[in-house]
Amino acid sequence: MAIFCVLLGLFYSFLHILSSFFSPPRHQHPTRKLPPGPRAIPVVGNLHMLGTLPHRNLQTLAQKYGPIMCIRLGLVPTIVVSSPALAELVLKTHDTVFASRPKTQASEYLNYGTNGIGFTEYGPYWRYVRKVCTLQLLSSSRIVSFGPLRKQEMNLIVKQVRNAAERHEVVDLTEKVSELVKEITFKMIVGIDNKIDSVDFRRLVEEGMRLIVTFNLADYVPYLGALDIQGLTRKMKKLSKATDKIIDKKILEIIQNSSEQQQQEEEDSNNYNNKPMTFIEVLLSLMNKPMNDHYDQPYTIQMTNIKGVIVDMIAASYETSVAAIEWTLSELMRHPRVMESLRQEINKVVGTNRMVEESDLPKLTYLDMVVKETLRLHPLAPLLVPRESMEDIEINGYYIPKKTRVFINTWAIGRDPTIWSDNVEDFFPERFDGSDIDFKGHDFQFLPFGSGRRACPGMQLGLMTIRLVVAQLVHCFDWRLPDGILPGDLDMTEKFGLAVRRTKHLLASPTYCLSI
């Protein structure tokens, strides 16, 4: 009987694919024109054209078909936008139409049925959860409250690197930065400081982020989803269960902690003073409490929502922060002039008798330009997180049907010579000197954190971490590439993921610079 059901499913899938091949695309309107794009082939559509670095290949296709392009990913109609003007139409002018997210198996299994924030469909629940995150978790006061944690973890990595410098060792900066950001992220969001749980949780988070961006046939040819041809459904279920086990363990610890134990932890000399509540503790304190009475459907936070939000927060803050720091340090080592200019600015503001404090960061204007230039050339999410149209709409004279997936190719926009001049491929932070372009998504030629309703709510926290780590490592150490590698020969090959990362780890030899 089971074999019969499988064969029947394959038969109906074959009929659907055959009909789609010999008929116009099902999203084609008889009197309205879709954007131009390459011809699709049966089953895969245009998926074969994406390759391992889809942002680059889509830029090449856009040069042929234009800044708004229609492709088909399996059976899913998809629009790719590659210009600031059209990005503004999608992210600002018609933001309400394009504010939703497509459902995927990864978001279903790894984000607790899209109970988080990043991959959740647009609607009253999403608006409620975003408000909770903005007011309760990502406010300026809460971010500042974790300053002692960042300082404590930053001091540890400086000490480790200083010891390596004294031994004339080569440092794996990718691993050091990953460990640093992991410690800050896990302790701030979940409160995990047990070494075993921390290592296991990091492995699970990294595996989850890999699965989220893995091409899943079930997302694009739903008729084949039940067959689990790639085995991804099985892997995601297993990963979800393991992640859930660690989070449940931490929640149980929090619930069982007595006020006396909490007081003892606060007074422990190994902990920083006035220890703030972790994100998961804040959410647990809000459980079953309606935020306000202004919703048609008054939502309350339940345990599943807490887990979904926590997983989203970790995935978004960990991977993207590591990638941004890694690319910034890579570009600085490739461009000694820029590295020296940044070091001179930091020395002028901070001196060499102390380390960088978070209060110094607003004064470091060249650091700001360096980070902007890095995110222009290496956007953390080069296609942003995909959106989905909630109704039929016309954009720039083209018909976009309901349920169309939309990608904004910020990588292509950031390397457009008509926007950034002929030196677009050069790492030149001074291009932002005197410019009012900021990180907030108001300037559609520069969208490192997205824009509109679905812009990244953790921008302020991410920038704090990126700026602090880069400033501290440049201030405390002089860095040289190992084994006689010249700056221009540093391998900058990238690999696609939830955030685009370096293919090879960044290795460098440090020399301690401060007089303390």
The residues, any chain, with a CB within 8 Å of residue 230's CB and separated by 6 or more, are 216, 217
Of 327, 289, 293, nearest to 427 (Cα)? Answer: 327
Q: Partners of 494 in the beta sheet?
A: 502
The answer to whether 366 touches 345, Cβ cutoff 8 Å, is: yes
Q: Residue 165 and residue 489: Cα distance in Å, rounded?
A: 23
Amino acid residing at 73? L
The answer to whether 291 touches 131, Cβ cutoff 8 Å, is: yes
| Parallel/antiparallel/unpaired status of strands 405-408 and 76-81 | parallel
The number of residues making up the chain comes to: 516
Of 464, 455, 443, 510, nearest to 367 (Cα)? Answer: 464
The answer to whether 472 touches 507, Cβ cutoff 8 Å, is: no
- Cα distances (angstroms) measured from residue 147 to each of 140, 266, 268, 367, 494: 11, 16, 18, 19, 32
User: Considering just the CA atoms, what is the radius of gyration of the chain in Å?
Assistant: 24
Q: Is 476 annotated as a binding residue?
A: no
Question: Is the sign of the CA dihedral 321, 327, 333, 336 positive or negative?
Answer: negative
The answer to whether 114 touches 120, Cβ cutoff 8 Å, is: yes
Query: Residue-wise over 29-62: b if at least 16 C-beta within 10 A, else e?
Result: eeeeebbebeebeebbbbbebbeebbbbebbebb
Of 438, 466, 429, 209, nearest to 327 (Cα)? Answer: 466
**176: which DSSP letter?**
H
Angle between helices 173-189 and 195-213 (to 10 degrees): 100
- Where helices occur in 167-194 by DSSP H, the ranges are 173-189
Q: Residue 494 and residue 500: Cα distance in Å, rounded?
A: 7
Annotated binding site: 456
Annotated binding site for heme: 456
